[in-house]
Structure 1
């Protein structure tokens, strides 16, 4: 430790004393040793940020599929590819095995709505009637008629997930795709659009964990041997929720470290000639532009929707010009194919050689799944996916592919492991990764980097948002370090890479709160964190969840429940005490999102033993409201354990307490009318000895007579 401290500080005297040699012998070598040390530390930091997705074989379990299943198939012609209707039929036939009751419903994804799908699920899959819901709707890649930026299958999948939340069913949802993932070396992508289902599905799994089955990618050619593996994947996959079926067997998706170590680069990336940056006037675009200018780019073309009118565009132009680059700032929405074609044609006609393309345009999203409209979904996807698709087509049309040094797609980790409130954003970014793989299949260059949070940019631009990310374990990366990682990815000619600074121990706690997430099983820090946590224990030592609370008097329990809620909120948000939790402040203002809401629900379920819904925080928007929900849960349990007449008496005690709190200022007539109605209903019930009800006496009774009747019949509570 002393040695390396002296090296890093270039302390000749201190190092000489540590080694017991003369200082003169170190004067020449120490600067080189210090530089080497800084380089190694920097490389180690970047290595810790680097991860990639791999597929691991899954041992097949001899488990037979049984029970009732609902299969939703796209009711479309072969618009999604030759033989697609027959392929869907083969999948359906594979499920129709002995012991399986298969209900198949055909739906046109282009015309399906949230309401129509809700009605369908209520009819076909009410609670307790089916073991799972299988959807092939996402395999329809036609443009949606009202929102052509979105594939019809993606739109239908979004609405299906929303419909699922609108019903009281309990069957898990499985999303099926066709050759959407590259699992083996023999795989070819059927359609990059289907990768959007995987990005969106991972967010559905986070926001609707209690109704989630998983993602299952089937081969492009579905044969008889595949049928048995398909059934086994559904029947015996355990916690696995991201599965691919191939000729070789079943595979599961994993995120693994991808350090470079001492691996030498395959080339040296040097910016030259012209570089095009979409979203170039935004925070990320400006960082990229400075980096490329410093790396030798002669001409920088920055596009955005507002172009020169974007905030800070003028200052950015001056800064880049001072670095020696010619700068063109253009108002060009790259999701508009004609506008992008005109821009590229002008560059070509001006004799420019396009060497570098960086697609950094995008729309940040933070909308819970249930609140997202198709229009919002289309806007988010268009900014990322349409722009990338147009660049893919038009750059090759106007320029020589051999001249292109880099085609960089700025993706996001939202598309790799999901992020609450970002279903459309995750879908779009997953599609960018697929596009990079597709370009490589066609012999073209492409690098897609799924980024974590950049300091001062994107979702981390707001200090409050940055703090929220930190509490979840996502740490913002200094832009200059992130750009160094980008340089590494280009020099190592990588296709798809995840670069993020994550406190995996903290992240895994929230990420796995609702259910196991095998995606992270091969990350050493996650394994260690989950091993240290051990089985979730009840809130009160080793007692049964909620046992101590059930034994309390009602008034004492109410106070304990409020403290419990505040403590759980503080723990989820990373506060040191409950004082920071205002009981009347909405959860969304406290910093909750879909993922942390699920974590809070699970903490409270563990502590109380109550069956609480995943929508708990959304249904009860403040800590005080949520405490009321817990109070009702315990009261409901106790009432359910009492004889009916005792349960009614208990409620009458509460009624009497409420009446005693009324004053002449309150609407007494409404209360009296409701009491008369209730007493009339009671009087209409014939007594055990056959006496006729006293309804007519009650209808004409005075207020005093009514209260006297209540006291006489049911007894005073105090």
Structure 2
């Protein structure tokens, strides 16, 4: 992407994978590890705001029909940025509402051992307690990296609920340590459910080492914002979650138990307790449901992990789909944030999003006209005021990418690092300034001109030299 920016080439950048993403039963993926590439493509700012592009998964074997489908996708993507192209047509990714998972009828009592990784963390703790209350009676808790006090307290809580508990301090990302832990499971209560709350390396081990076991449930947790690409937090999170999704879909297509549960931000240290009443949407909760929850800049409100995980026993007994999201979303600010540098195609089937996306299409600025207006405005200003105008442009873009209020002021002589820019937001800043000025702006520009004042000076010099694309 930076090479294209240096060349001034505003072209779509598409990444291709082969047999990475399963579209459902009968469409088997062969290499879910390619999901890492899908994660990179979801990172905000890695594609130019106007250039388009995305990720396309092709089948393992190409035929003329599939090639023709691919050609049509590249010619007219219709604002989509993620495709699985098959001979039967093109498949796209959507976030849709589903009913809250209800307990299936005629399901026998839970048997066997439940393995919970990251059991000393909040998600692991509430997961174990929810399953114990649902009747699961045997637990293997893996607590790598310490947390012995928390895991000991959890053990006491589970035993008070009548469960048998074994603690293991091994790291599930260590294949040998995980194999040893699995070998120690009581033969009288063989492993039946795996719930993973950590990263990709351990998830792969859990998948491969349990393939021959008659599991009834296999669930992994993810961050909702990282799964949707709206605010992944880090490169690592985006890549890990995308791999988790491709692996879960890989298992699901083969008839293996598999669920990825993507949660919104959870209230830290919320008390663990049962929730008899739950919300009936898994794609996001209605506005106003969590009045006491803290609101975060991305439009996602924190909520009680006990409430979020109340659906897990029912999901394990009969999931409505391989990938589920549970989040308390204030859709207006969330969509404004999530669609800053994307078309928002993922949200097109959500009723809450249709109005916002329609407004985005109707009122989206014509980039070329905006750039011409800026250059014309600068020509009418003396040099000092040109610098002030561009400094204000940089300030407004910095405020936007950081998710702050537009009226917020900061010292323009401070470095971007001090102001709070990360590698993610530096990319977003460059893309936003490229959109406004037409200048090719690789992310290195932010590091070569590390303050708003210095960057505004660079923009003025480049515009004066007539290098706008």
- TM-score, with normalisation over the residues of structure 2? 0.79
Which residue of the partner structure matches residue 439 of structure 2? Answer: 611
8 Å Cα contact 2:21/2:250 also seen in 1:
no
Mapped partners of 2:33, 2:174: distance in 1: 18
Match of 1:526 among 335, 339, 353: 353
Unaligned runs of 5+ in 1: 1-160, 363-383, 458-465, 641-718
Q: How far off its partner does 1:562 sit?
A: 2.9
Match of 1:356 among 193, 214, 219: 193
Which residue of the partner structure matches residue 312 of structure 2? Answer: 486
Mapped partners of 1:560, 1:315: distance in 2: 58
Answer 1 or 2: higher relative contact order, Cα 8 Å, separation at least 6: 2
SS in 2 for 1:338: helix
Unaligned runs of 5+ in 2: 270-292
Give the direction of change, closer, same or farther, for the CA distance of 1:611–1:318 in structure 2 (3 Å limit). Answer: same
Match of 2:241 among 420, 426, 429: 429
Mapped partners of 2:376, 2:82: distance in 1: 37
Match of 1:504 among 314, 326, 331: 331
Q: How far off its partner does 1:505 sit?
A: 2.9
Is structure 2 residue 124 aligned with structure 1 residue 285? yes
Deviation sequence 1:533-575 (CA, Å, 0-9, x none): 5424599999923433431222233333333433443344444
Which residue of the partner structure matches residue 139 of structure 2? Answer: 300
Which residue of the partner structure matches residue 390 of structure 2? Answer: 561
Which portions of structure 1, spanning 4 or more consecutive aligned residues, are displaced by more than 6 angstroms?
538-543
Mapped partners of 1:166, 1:305: distance in 2: 43
Match of 1:633 among 453, 462, 467: 462
Which residue of the partner structure matches residue 95 of structure 2? Answer: 256
Give the direction of change, closer, same or farther, for the CA distance of 1:629–1:312 in structure 2 (3 Å limit). Answer: farther
Q: How far off its partner does 1:175 sit?
A: 1.9
Q: How far off its partner does 1:224 sit?
A: 2.6
Mapped partners of 2:442, 2:266: distance in 1: 30
8 Å Cα contact 2:223/2:241 also seen in 1:
yes
Higher CA-based Rg: 1
Is structure 2 residue 53 aligned with structure 1 residue 213? yes
Mapped partners of 2:365, 2:12: distance in 1: 26
Give the direction of change, closer, same or farther, for the CA distance of 1:312–1:583 in structure 2 (3 Å limit). Answer: farther
Q: How far off its partner does 1:528 sit?
A: 1.4
Which residue of the partner structure matches residue 280 of structure 2? Answer: none
Mapped partners of 1:542, 1:231: distance in 2: 32
Give the direction of change, closer, same or farther, for the CA distance of 1:562–1:394 in structure 2 (3 Å limit). Answer: closer
Deviation sequence 1:237-269 (CA, Å, 0-9, x none): 3533222222223x14132322217x8542469
Mapped partners of 2:318, 2:12: distance in 1: 41
Q: How far off its partner does 1:207 sit?
A: 2.0
Q: How far off its partner does 1:330 sit?
A: 1.2
**Structure 1 residues 673-692: aligned runs within 5 Å:** none
SS in 2 for 1:448: strand
Structure with more helix by fraction: 1
Which residue of the partner structure matches residue 8 of structure 1? Answer: none
Q: How far off its partner does 1:618 sit?
A: 4.7
Q: How far off its partner does 1:184 sit?
A: 5.8
Is structure 2 residue 208 aligned with structure 1 residue 393? yes
8 Å Cα contact 1:208/1:614 also seen in 2:
no
Which residue of the partner structure matches residue 514 of structure 1? Answer: 341
Aligned length: 437
**RMSD of Structure 2 on Structure 1 (CA):** 3.7
Mapped partners of 1:246, 1:579: distance in 2: 48
